């Protein structure tokens, strides 16, 4: 008999996912500083693009693991609320940039699934193209591909271990069109 899944609400899951998307680890920050120095670029550019990459990994993992379920709609509605709040606080067209990146990554993975580089390679290529300036694309591709693969696997694993518990009426008042 398998282990019992942990229970979580869409509110809990979305808060956890947003923290994972928006807060890089100390180890990641150290590696990014080193890479940014090597490439001669500002570390905040890499941090921003990696945040969008992680957001896509979450979006894609949710689509694959939750399908067209009410749980998916509830989690996405909560995540969207978090992004809207951040956009109001931070400004700088955060939501517009996020939607642009989600569309770019989504187009890449849906149009070229038969590509020999695999999913991580497709995402890596888009990541390297999104980083502004003239930098070493191979280093950026390696970073983007490895970060996507690791983060995506963690998110898929999370959804396999968690049972999403909807509170009655939770999904009734918020309609959100999934990406």
Q: What is the pTM for the complete model shown?
A: 0.88
CA atoms within 13 A of residue 179's CA, in its CB half-sphere: 25
pLDDT of residue 167: 81
Q: What is the pLDDT along the chain (179 residues), one digit of tens a residue?
A: 557 889 999 999 999 999 999 998 898 889 889 988 888 888 998 999 999 999 999 999 999 999 999 999 999 999 999 999 999 998 788 999 999 999 999 999 887 555 567 889 999 999 999 987 666 678 888 889 999 999 999 999 999 999 999 987 665 544 444 44
């Amino acid at each position: 008999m398998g282990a019992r899944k942990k229970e979580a609400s869409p509110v809990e899951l979305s808060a956890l996912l947003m923290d994972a998307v928006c807060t890089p680890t100390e180890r990641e920050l150290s590696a990014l500083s080193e890479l940014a120095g090597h490439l001669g670029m500002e570390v905040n550019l890499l941090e921003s693009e990696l945040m969008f990459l992680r957001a896509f990994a979450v979006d894609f993992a949710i689509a694959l693991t939750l399908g067209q379920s009410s749980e998916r709609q509830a989690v996405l509605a909560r995540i969207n609320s978090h992004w809207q709040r951040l956009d109001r606080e931070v400004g700088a067209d955060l939501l517009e940039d996020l939607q642009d990146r989600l569309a770019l990554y989504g187009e890449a993975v849906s149009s070229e699934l038969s590509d020999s580089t695999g999913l991580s390679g497709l995402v890596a290529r888009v990541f390297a193209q999104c980083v502004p300036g003239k930098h070493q694309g191979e280093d950026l591709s390696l970073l983007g591909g490895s970060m996507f693969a690791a983060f995506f696997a963690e998110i898929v694993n999370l959804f396999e271990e968690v049972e999403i518990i909807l509170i009655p009426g939770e999904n009734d008042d918020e309609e959100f069109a999934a990406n």
